[in-house]
Amino acid sequence: MTESSPSPATASPRRRPRFSTIFWGLVLLTFAVYMLLESIMPGALDPVFWLLGSVIMLGVILVVTGIVAATARRAD
């Protein structure tokens, strides 16, 4: 008996991660790290710096994932 690969009609469609899930996960992760560091070193962290850093990091992530998605779509 030989195994055959599933036909394209029966293969499950490729699922992509949802943007909102990734975004809110990063926001919550940033908040959790901030709260952890605030409990270890009280008063040493500037919330404005963390907010600005988080916005910059999310912007970089959005640009990079956009570029990756565009190149992956072009390759298909």
d(CA 31, CA 25): 10
DSSP 47-63: HHHHHHHHHHHHHHHHH
Angle 20-23-26 from CA coordinates, rounded to 5°: 145
d(CA 62, CA 22): 10
Contact partners, residue 64, CB within 8 Å, separation at least 6: none
Query: Within the chain, what is the greatest distance between any pair of CA atoms?
Result: 69
Q: Does residue 3 register a pLDDT over 60?
A: no
Report field, pTM of the whole predicted structure over 0.85:
no
What is the per-residue pLDDT across 21-31, written as a single tens digit (0 to 9) for each? 777 887 788 78
